Amino acid sequence: MKIGIDILGGDFAPDANLSGAVLAKKELPGDVTLVLLGDRDQISSGLLSLNADPADYDIVHAPDVITMHDHPTRAIPQKPNSSIAVGFDLLSKQEIQAFASTGNTGAMLVGAIYKINTIPGIIRPCITSTLPAIDGSKSILLDVGSNADCKADVLYQFAVLGALYSKKVYGVEKPRVALLNIGEEESKGNLLTIAAHKLMAESDEINFIGNLEGRDLFFGKADVIVCDGFTGNVVLKEAEGIYTLMRKRGIRDEYFDRFNYENYGGTPILGVKGNVIIGHGISNDIAVKNMILHAHEVARSGLTQSVNEAFS
Residue 8 has pLDDT above 90, yes or no: yes
Q: What is the mean pLDDT of residues 201-212?
A: 97
Same domain for 297 and 239? Answer: no
- Which range has the worst mean pLDDT, 22-31, 68-77, 96-105, 170-179? 68-77
Same domain for 224 and 276? Answer: no
| pLDDT number for residue 263 | 85
| pLDDT number for residue 69 | 87
Name residues whose C-beta falls within 8 Å of residue 93's C-beta, 6 or more positions apart in sequence: none
Residue 41 has pLDDT above 90, yes or no: yes
Q: How confident is the model at residue 72 (pLDDT cuts 50, 70, 90)?
A: confident
Q: What is the mean pLDDT of the chain?
A: 95
Q: What is the mean pLDDT of residues 277-291?
A: 94
Q: How confident is the model at residue 68 (pLDDT cuts 50, 70, 90)?
A: confident
- Which range has the worst mean pLDDT, 54-58, 97-101, 254-258? 254-258
Same domain for 196 and 81? Answer: no
Same domain for 249 and 130? Answer: yes
Considering only CA atoms, which of 52, 49, 43 is closest in space to residue 22?
52
| pLDDT number for residue 7 | 98
Same domain for 190 and 311? Answer: no
Q: What is the pLDDT of residues 234-260, one digit of tens each?
A: 999 999 999 999 999 999 999 998 998
Same domain for 14 and 94? Answer: yes
Same domain for 53 and 69? Answer: yes
Same domain for 128 and 56? Answer: no
CATH number of the domain at 233, please. 3.40.718.10
Same domain for 53 and 131? Answer: no
Q: What is the pLDDT of residues 158-173, one digit of tens each?
A: 999 999 999 999 999 9
Q: What is the pLDDT of residues 124-157, one digit of tens each?
A: 999 999 999 999 999 999 999 999 999 999 999 9
Which residues form the domain of 208? Answer: 123-262
Domains of the chain: total = 2
Residue 285 has pLDDT above 90, yes or no: yes
Same domain for 133 and 222? Answer: yes
Distance CA 250, CA 246 (A): 6
